[in-house]
Every structure is written in C-alpha cells, then in structure tokens.
Amino acid sequence: MSFILKSKVIFLTNGLIKQNLNIVVGGVMVLKVRNESGNTPRPSRWGVVSETGVLRDLLVGPIDNYRWSPGNAVAERTERLGLKFDFDAIKQQYAEMISAYQTAGVDVHILEAEEGLPYQVYARDSSVMTPWGAIIMQLQKPYRRGEYASVLRFYLENEIPVFDMVSAGNVEGGDFMVLKPGVAICGYSGERSIKPAVEQIAGWFEKEGWEFHQYAFDAHFLHLDVQMGMIANDLAVVCVEAVEPALIEWLRGHGIRVIPISYGEAMTMGTNIVALGDDRVLIPAAGKRLIEVCRAEGLQVFDPDVSLIAAGGGSVHCMCQALRRDPQ
C-alpha cells in the first residue's frame, strides 16, 4: 500500500489538528474528498444516509485500556455511588455486545488499542460517517485528543474516504446524527462541542444540499445521544424532560414519532441505543421499559448487558460508528 502525502500535518501544542490532509492510498484519495462547491461523489461501498438503514459494517472502540474517568455527570455519579470497577466483568459485557451485533449480521471492525486512551472504547466521538465518507472530529478533553490517530489509520488502511477534518474547534461524534436521507442534526453545549465547529460541518452539508439542524443544549447532558436516539425510520426515543419543545416539534415535522423517557432513564443511558434496520434495534438490558415498548411496536430487540461500561458515561451508541448502512 503506497501513501502520497499532499500537504503537511501541523500539530498545535494542545494536540488539535490545525491543517487538513490529502492522502492517496492505492490510487484513491481518502482524506478530504469533499468538493468545496458541493456535489461530492459518494463512495460505492462505505457511507450512511440515515441512522436507521440496515447496518452492515460497524466500527467499535477497543476495551483494552478502558477505565472510568470522571468528567461527565454519569461517571461522577458512579464515583459518588461507590460502584466497583471490575475489568473482567466489563470485558465480558463488551464481548456480549460484540456477539449481539454479529448475531444481527453486522460485520464488526475493532480499532487498534492505543496506550493512554482510557475512553477509546467510545468510537462514536473521534469520527462520524456521512454519505460521502468519514469526518474526523476534534475531541475536547486532553485525555481523549489522541483518539483521532487510530481512527485515521483505520480509514487509511481500509481505503475508506474521509470527507473532511474539522478545524474550527472541538466537536464530538456523540452530538451528531445523520437522521434520515437529506437531514442531519448536531447538538452543542459549548463544552464537548462548540458552535463554530458545528457551523463548519453544517456548511459542508448545506453545500451538498442537505438540511442541517443545529441544536443548543445544557452541558449537564454530555452529548445529544444522551438525550435522544433513533429506533427505526419514523421512531425516536427522547428524554422529553431534557430537550427543548422545539426539538420535539422539529422531529415530528420530519414524520418521526417520539417515545418519551424520563430524566432518570436518560441518566442511565436510556436513549443510547443503536438501530439495526429492518425493525431491529440494540438496546442495553438496563432499558427494560424501552425494550418492552419497542417489542410492543413489533420491533426485534437485542439487549446485551453493558451496565458497567455505561457507568463510565457511555453506552452502546457511544461505542460504535456505523461505517455502512443500506440506503433507504
């Protein structure tokens, strides 16, 4: 595999990437394939146009170096409650989650583990997939900023195009969703994700002819996927006590029905679910009421126990990045 470097990478002292790259791998340009004027070609294999198409390929973070790191409301609550960190049990729960995806027919790709990255398991944040390839995000916390390296190598090694790399400040993938064909949303609290970075991504999508909804929320909620999640094409779970009424109306305006959950359920990662497509969904076992509601809706539910991983502040949606979904 040959690499042709088109421009230098410049690193700031805080670890953020200042300048984008263009790299050709095997004759295919995979970093910054975005056309400045729009009409960016879509790759033949990789990409997603919604959160709910049939999931074919999934990127998951490694569990090897995971530990609880206070820095969000859920992890801080875990510390207050005095819960015991049991790494053997955590690895068993991780294996149960991987097995659930495989049973559902998903090809699971696991990132190479990097020392010194305790939250690398949360692969949702370091990059996001779009219809045109991946976007490399910028993480806010110093102990997470190095996560971009392994995900970048993964895309290069697998010849997956990178749409672009965020340069306008920190924005994390847990705040971003390709909701449905032609519509995307990104939240920001001013901490993990900031408005200028969200506006940069919005500009890219709008040049491609997409609607891009920017949603401001309180920093108490780590990411948007702690407040809402897509279950199926026209169905979402939302913590109605946390979000602004305008967001509910926006979802309904796009034909999406809302299953409400409480603040307490949200704080145990109740909205952090993964749609598998074809009326199937992966919901952590702790979400018993949501599981019952979804089964009553006629959905097939996969329900691995990931409670000890979720105690660190992220559940199944946080741990994965869809690489390929069937178009709807």
Report residue 302: phi and psi, to 5°. Answer: -100, 130
Question: Which domain, by its residues, includes 191?
Answer: 43-325
In this predicted structure, what is the pLDDT of residue 307?
95
Specify if 27 maps to a domain.
no
Distance CA 25, CA 169 (A): 27
Q: Is pLDDT of 2 > 50?
A: no
Instruction: Give, as one character, the DSSP assignment of residue 144.
Output: G
pLDDT score for 24? 54
42-74: pLDDT as tens digits: 999 999 999 999 999 999 999 999 998 877 777
Can you tell me the distance from the alpha carbon of 16 to that of 298, in angstroms, rounded to the nearest whole number? 45
Asked if the structure places residue 49 within a domain, the reply is yes
Domain contains 153: yes
Q: Does residue 38 belong to any structural domain of this protein? A: no
How far is it, in rounded angstroms, from Cα 174 to Cα 192? Answer: 9
Residue 223 DSSP code: S
Residue 34 within any structural domain of the chain: no
Q: What is the pTM of this model?
A: 0.89
Q: Is the pLDDT of residue 16 over 80?
A: no
Cα 120 to Cα 66: distance, rounded to the nearest angstrom? 7
Average pLDDT, the chain: 90
Classify residue 33: in a domain, yes or no.
no
Our count of domains for the chain comes to 1
CATH of the domain at 69: 3.75.10.10
In a domain, 28, yes or no: no
Q: Tell me: pLDDT of 14 over 80.
A: no
What are the tens digits of pLDDT across the range 250-264?
Answer: 999 999 999 999 999
Within a domain: residue 177?
yes
pLDDT digits (tens, 9 = 90+) for 214-223: 999 998 888 9
How does residue 267 score in pLDDT terms, banded at 50, 70 and 90?
Answer: confident
| Residue (of 234, 201, 183) closest to 52 by Cα position | 234
pLDDT tens digits, one per residue of 99-148: 999 999 999 999 999 999 999 999 999 999 999 999 999 999 999 999 99
Is the model's pLDDT at 165 over the cut of 60?
yes
State whether residue 52 is helix, strand or coil.
Answer: coil
